[in-house]
């Protein structure tokens, strides 16, 4: 059964998330609703893209994903549907969907025309436009009934790691900071391994730190499990579940993790230098 997922920057203190769910259930009482996250930083599209990109694939094919980030109603901003990878994604035309699918072309894009006439009153983009559209799609309806196909939507440039051949280095940057304070870069395992295959050694550099190992996961860092507590608080570079190079403090958290101890923020550079 298709699921309707919700992602927003609304937080959980206010009424908005409950109102969205109530609106869905009023239109489809047997709807299956799942929260992806409501703790996205306000208007943070890159953070939203990372979260949704790595979550949606675990939901059944045909699921409908409502993404209410930077989505407060403005008549001049379209509401759109991406049909991609067997799923539907509903969001404002603010460039978010291009960040989620920076390496994948949508099968189709639709501008939602439901509740979009000149005399329609829209108080909430999500409740008045996104929700009825999601219910329609989850019931097996086709997007052409609630929208018109368009050829493109707003496109934002996703920050990609690059290979500087003359300097023998990969230049990436921090693109996300997770709940443990880990710094997630945009350097993928696939890209790293491709460049590494032509070199004998490498070092990972950021700020004034240098690391000579990258582990396949966080637990590979621990060599003697009977002495695991001795590893707490140590710096480590590892590939995370999304296959991206991550800078961590082992068993760190928001207050004492890599973000705090390394003093880094989103957008700061991460380098991998290679030697022959």
188-202 per-position pLDDT tens digit? 999 999 999 989 999
Q: Where are the domains of the chain?
A: 4-150, 162-275
Three-class SS state of 171: strand
Q: What share of the chain is helix, strand, coil (3-state, %, to 5)?
A: 25, 30, 45
234-260 per-position pLDDT tens digit? 999 999 999 999 999 999 998 899 999
Pairing of strands 147-150, 108-112: antiparallel
Per DSSP, the residues of 104-115 read: S--SEEEEE-TT
Report the predicted TM-score, pTM, of the whole model to 2 decimal places.
Answer: 0.92
CA distance 271 to 203: 8
| Percentage, residues of the chain above pLDDT 70 | 98
- Residue 15 confidence (pLDDT) above 90: yes
Specify whether the CB–CB gap between 225 and 208 falls below 8 A: no
66-91 per-position pLDDT tens digit? 999 999 888 889 999 999 999 999 99
Specify whether the CB–CB gap between 130 and 90 falls below 8 A: yes
- Residue 117 confidence (pLDDT) above 70: no
Our CA dihedral for 255, 259, 262, 267, rounded to 10 degrees, sits at -160
CA distance 18 to 171: 43
23-63 per-position pLDDT tens digit? 999 999 999 999 999 999 999 999 999 999 999 999 999 99
CA distance 207 to 58: 35
CATH number listed for the domain at residues 162-275: 2.40.30.90
Specify whether the CB–CB gap between 209 and 261 falls below 8 A: no
Backbone dihedral angles phi then psi of residue 174, each to the nearest 5 degrees: -70, 125
CATH of 4-150, one of 3.30.479.30, 3.90.930.12, 3.40.50.10790, 3.40.50.300: 3.40.50.10790
Q: Taking all residues of the chain, what is their mean pLDDT, rounded to a whole number?
A: 94
- Cβ neighbours for 169, distance < 8 A, ≥ 6 positions apart: 163, 271, 272, 273, 274
Mean predicted confidence (pLDDT) in 158-167: 95
Report CA 200 to chain centroid distance, whole Å: 33
pLDDT at 119: 54
Confidence category of residue 116, pLDDT binned at 50, 70, 90 = low
């Amino acid at each position: 059964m298709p699921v309707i997922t919700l992602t927003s920057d609304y937080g959980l203190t206010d009424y908005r998330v409950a109102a969205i769910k109530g609106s869905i259930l009023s239109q489809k009482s047997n709807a299956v609703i799942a929260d992806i996250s409501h703790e996205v930083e306000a208007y943070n599209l890159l953070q939203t893209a990372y979260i949704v990109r790595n979550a949606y694939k675990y939901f059944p094919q045909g699921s409908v994903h409502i993404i209410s980030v930077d989505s407060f109603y403005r008549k001049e901003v379209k509401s759109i549907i991406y049909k991609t990878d067997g799923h539907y994604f509903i969001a404002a035309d603010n460039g978010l969907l291009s960040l989620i699918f920076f390496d994948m072309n949508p099968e189709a894009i639709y501008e939602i025309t439901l509740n979009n006439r000149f005399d329609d009153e829209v108080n909430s983009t999500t409740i008045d436009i996104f929700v009825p559209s999601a219910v329609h799609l989850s019931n097996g309806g086709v997007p052409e009934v609630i929208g018109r196909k368009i050829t493109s939507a707003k496109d934002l440039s996703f920050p990609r790691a690059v290979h500087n051949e003359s300097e023998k280095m990969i230049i990436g940057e921090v693109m996300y900071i997770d709940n443990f304070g880990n710094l997630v870069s945009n350097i993928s395992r696939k890209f790293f391994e491709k460049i590494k295959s032509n070199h004998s050694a490498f070092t990972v550099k950021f700020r004034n730190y240098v690391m000579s190992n990258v582990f396949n996961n966080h637990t590979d860092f621990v060599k003697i499990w009977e002495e695991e507590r001795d590893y707490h608080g140590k710096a480590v570079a590892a590939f995370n579940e999304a296959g991206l190079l991550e800078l961590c403090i082992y068993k760190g958290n928001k207050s004492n993790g890599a973000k705090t101890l390394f003093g880094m923020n989103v957008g700061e550079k991460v380098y991998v230098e290679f030697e022959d």
